[in-house]
């Protein structure tokens, strides 16, 4: 069987073909295309028209080469949404979660509904770009007026709508909104009412793996596309990535490593209590209504933005070169706190990292390798910090940490993470998100029996890399210095 996964990230999109045969799956990255937000009238937006054109081109090429294609499905980042008018047409380009319209919005939100009540309703971590705060910004005039809105669709759901004509809210994406109740598996009227957003704009909730129908005739694929079904996987990319963790049993935590690092564990039911709230954990829905109990960490965005800044200066580096230069740099140098809010917004990342070092009485890293090493070591120590909070919230200790996604290919970061946490790190597969997307499509067609079967296919199909911890005493001292930075900033 053949499945086409559109894995659409905040930096780029890919079309990945998955071929499943006898409990093994092979992936072919069929096409790549950039995803760069554009600044319009002072606001950052996603260029969905250009993005969908690239998707259509990739789908047409896939059908020409693979006329036996069975299904297609999309996954994207969370929280952002497309706004439709009453005729189902897009109203402007969707806002990017890094846009400033939600700056300071959480204080206004908590004046309407206390944060403790919001967390009890949703179990969702507090981030200023969550959909509920974007909705409040729209209520306050930053966006189309609700009276003009016929519906909203999260990003992958919007692309599924363009492909199939059917509107849904796939539950893994819905759970990033902070107005979805994972215990009741329903929207929270209380939060929507408090923030002035009408329930009528939301589509019906849908589980992962649901078949939405065939390709819309208006797309013009004709007979070539007639047999292809649109299947919504976990439409949230982290849901797909967690589904493809090649683990056995439940004694593991995981990082989905990319632009963001999502560190957490898979649970069978929500974990919503005061300690989880205060430690900053979210309850997001995954395949089979499992819960991804996790926390967001800024991730490889630090290095991606440095690379973009250097390229603008005429200095081009690919990621393997940056990793090599970092490996050659001196270890145990200056550190930054990845939680520092200055790092969230795009632009000038090398300067921001250097400033953060100087402001904490450390020398600024000198040279490209030293700066990237600073980012990697800081991330590894942040992983240790958040893993400790995870274990505190759940009252247990995990034996190993799986790392999936693009960041799993970075052998330096893999070793630094094992050293920092003092436990083995199992890295791979790199294409976990697209892999989970394809296999959840297959599960929707009954070609994959259950989660255990899905993960067995992953283990059968991909080579994994294991990192053992080293230099425990040095890393304990390094972590103590890192914690001091966080305490001084009030973020420990």
pLDDT at position 9 is: 86
* Whether pLDDT at 409 is above 90: yes
| CATH no. of 2-237 | 3.30.420.40
| Catalytic hit among 70, 80, 99, 237 | 237
Query: Average pLDDT, stretch 384-397?
Result: 96
pLDDT at 320: 95
Per-residue pLDDT at 225: 86
Q: Which residue has the higher pLDDT, 69 or 11?
A: 69
Percent with pLDDT over 90 in the chain: 93
pLDDT tens-digit map of 159-214: 999 999 999 999 999 999 999 999 999 999 999 999 999 999 999 999 999 999 99
Give the Å distances, CA to CA, from 195 to 138, 179, 198, 202.
9, 10, 9, 14
> What band does 222 get if pLDDT is binned at 50, 70 and 90?
confident
pLDDT value of residue 404: 97
Summarize pLDDT for 291-314 with one digit per residue, the tens. Answer: 999 999 999 999 999 999 999 999
Q: What is the pLDDT, as a whole number, of residue 447?
A: 95
pLDDT category of residue 259 using cuts at 50, 70 and 90: confident
Classify domain 245-428+462-492 at the CATH class level: alpha beta
pLDDT of residue 98 exceeding 90, the answer is no
pTM across the whole model:
0.89
Domain 2-237 and domain 245-428+462-492 have a common topology = yes
pLDDT tens, residue by residue, 312-338:
999 999 999 999 999 999 999 999 999
- Per-residue pLDDT tens over the stretch 100-125: 999 999 999 999 999 999 999 999 99
Average pLDDT, the chain: 95
Per-domain boundaries in the chain: 2-237, 245-428+462-492
Report whether pLDDT(12) > 90.
no
Average pLDDT over residues 208-224: 92
Position 288 scores a pLDDT of 94
- pLDDT tens, 225-250? 889 999 999 999 999 999 999 999 88
Q: What is the pLDDT of residue 87?
A: 96
Predicted confidence at residue 397, as pLDDT, reads 97
pLDDT at 281: 96
Whether 237 is catalytic is yes
Write the pLDDT tens digit of every residue in 25-47: 999 998 999 888 999 989 999 99
């Amino acid at each position: 069987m053949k499945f086409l996964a559109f894995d659409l990230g905040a930096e780029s999109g890919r079309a990945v073909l998955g071929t499943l045969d006898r409990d093994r799956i092979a992936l072919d990255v069929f096409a790549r295309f950039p995803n760069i937000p554009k600044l319009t009238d002072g606001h950052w937006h996603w260029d969905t028209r250009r993005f969908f054109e690239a998707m259509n081109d990739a789908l047409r090429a896939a059908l020409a080469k693979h006329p036996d294609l069975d299904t297609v499905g999309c996954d994207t980042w969370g929280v952002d949404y497309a706004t439709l008018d009453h005729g189902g047409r897009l109203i402007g380009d969707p806002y990017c979660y890094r846009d400033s319209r939600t700056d300071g919005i959480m204080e206004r939100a908590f004046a309407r509904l206390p944060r403790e009540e919001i967390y009890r309703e949703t179990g969702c971590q507090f981030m200023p770009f969550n959909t509920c705060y974007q909705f409040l910004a729209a209520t306050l005039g930053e966006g189309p007026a609700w009276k003009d809105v016929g519906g909203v669709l999260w990003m992958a759901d919007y692309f599924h709508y363009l492909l199939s004509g059917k509107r849904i809210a796939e539950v893994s994406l819905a759970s990033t909104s902070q107005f979805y109740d994972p215990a009741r598996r329903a929207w929270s009227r209380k939060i929507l009412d408090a923030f002035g957003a009408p329930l009528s704009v939301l589509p019906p909730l849908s589980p992962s793996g649901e078949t939405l129908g065939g390709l819309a005739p208006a797309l013009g694929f004709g007979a070539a596309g007639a047999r292809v079904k649109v299947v919504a996987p976990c439409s949230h990319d982290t849901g797909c990535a967690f589904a493809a963790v090649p683990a056995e049993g439940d004694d593991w935590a995981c990082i989905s490593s990319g632009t963001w690092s999502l560190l957490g564990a898979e649970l069978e039911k929500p974990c919503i209590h005061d300690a989880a709230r205060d430690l900053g954990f979210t309850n997001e829905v995954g395949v089979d209504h499992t819960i991804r109990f996790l926390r967001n960490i800024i991730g490889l965005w630090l290095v991606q933005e440095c690379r973009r800044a250097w390229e603008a200066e005429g200095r081009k580096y690919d990621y393997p070169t940056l990793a090599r230069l970092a490996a050659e740099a001196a270890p145990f140098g200056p550190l930054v706190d990845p939680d520092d809010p200055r790092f969230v917004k795009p632009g000038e990342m090398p300067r921001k990292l250097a400033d953060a070092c100087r402001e904490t009485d450390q020398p600024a890293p000198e040279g490209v390798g030293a700066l990237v090493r600073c980012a990697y070591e800081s991330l590894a120590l942040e992983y240790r910090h958040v893993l400790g909070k995870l274990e505190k919230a759940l009252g247990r200790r995990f034996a190993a940490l799986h790392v999936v996604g693009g960041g799993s290919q970075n052998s330096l970061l893999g070793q630094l993470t094992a050293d920092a946490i003092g436990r083995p790190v199992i890295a791979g597969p790199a294409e976990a998100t697209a892999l989970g997307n394809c296999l959840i499509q297959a599960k929707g067609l009954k070609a994959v029996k259950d989660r255990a079967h899905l993960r067995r296919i992953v283990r059968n199909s991909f080579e994994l890399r294991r990192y053992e911890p080293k230099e425990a005493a040095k890393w304990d001292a390094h972590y103590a210095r890192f914690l001091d930075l966080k305490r001084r900033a009030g973020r420990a």
